[in-house]
Amino acid sequence: MAALEAGFSKLTLESPPEENGKEKEKNDRYNTDDEDFDDEPREILPFRFFDLPSEIRLRVYEYVLFGETKKKGPPRTNGNVGSSRKNKIPAPLSHRLSLFLSSRRIHDEASVLFYSVQTFRVFQIQDYSKQPTLISLAPSYRPLIKKIELILGSSWTAPPKSWKVTKHLGLMEMTGVRTLKIFIQCDPSHPVFEGFRVSSDFYTGFAGGLVQKILEQLPNLVQVEFDAWPSVQKSGPLMRRLLSEVRATNVNIHWGPERGWNDWEDEEWNTPTSKSSAGPVAVSGHKSSVPVSFRNHVSATGITTVSLHIDS
């Protein structure tokens, strides 16, 4: 009873004292009867993406199409042969589709970037590359391609039946192609392939025919870039045939970084075997009686050095 009497004694009919500023702000924060909770959410204005400069939009597309991902799984590879292996690894398919399907204008701008910066192979080879070849591309994307690559040397005893230059490749529709890259893995006409090849000139004729037909169907080709593994010689039958086909079309010839060929290098200088010429040497008009010989050595990187040997 004493506790109840003490409680009733504290009751009063007067108004409670006014709260100070901090307490009032604290109570208003947790007041669920506030009018703000009854109002509809504010409208979020869309971001005007196309008001950005084209350079910034292209950087955004590049980040989405080729950006790194934290998704776990086996790493995607572009193969290990030729210039196409240096292509940027594309983002997961879900990322690319989200960008391409967002709007028609974004699709058109992003497609130009995606297909123009990559090098697409004419035919597939067995190096675990997941990049599509020309025949698997939709016709609407073919004019966007800038660089294609033909890799020779694979299956030199029996080339695949699908390695045929037909209208299904769509080469005549690739009006944007300016560069054809030719990478040679090996030259089967070399004597080391004797006993394993069909004939000494079988693959040379096959590869030369492919290059000839490809050059005929590319409407706006400007240059052809040659590259190869170190074992391929510029003076070999295969390279001589390919060079003759390219020179007949009057397009520019360039050399890739892998093999290290150049324009001022004589095609007859780098030979697969060492040449030696023995006999006396004439120095400043005086003939030496010491028998010596000059020998050319071709290193693994394709650099030819000349050494002087004194024959004993």
pLDDT, tens only, 228-255: 999 999 989 999 999 999 999 989 999 9
The Cα-based distances of 27 to 14, 16, 19, 39, 286 in angstroms read 21, 15, 10, 20, 112
- E strand or H helix at 255: strand 252-255
Query: Measured in Å, how far apart are the chain's first and last C-alpha atoms?
Result: 133
User: At 264, is the pLDDT very low, low, confident or very high (cuts 50, 70, 90)?
Assistant: confident
CA distance linking residue 305 with residue 299, whole number of Å? 8
Question: Is the pLDDT at 161 greater than 60, yes or no?
Answer: yes
Classified as helix, coil or strand, 252 is strand
Question: Is the pLDDT at 308 greater than 60, yes or no?
Answer: no
203, 189 contact by CB (below 8 A): yes
Per-residue model confidence as pLDDT tens digits over 34-61: 555 556 677 888 889 999 999 999 999 9
* Mean pLDDT rounded to a whole number for the chain: 79
CA distance linking residue 278 with residue 65, whole number of Å? 62
pLDDT of residue 199: 83
pLDDT of residue 238: 94
Question: Is the pLDDT at 277 greater than 70, yes or no?
Answer: no
Pick the more confident residue, 19 or 12.
Answer: 12
pLDDT of residue 300: 41
pLDDT of residue 134: 93
Concatenating the DSSP letter of every residue in 9-51 gives: HH---SPPPPP-HHHHHHHHHT-TT-GGGTSPPPPPPPP-GGG
**Residue 220 CA from chain centroid, whole number:** 21
Q: Tokens for 205, please give them.
A: 């004729």
For tokens 């901090």, what's the residue? 22
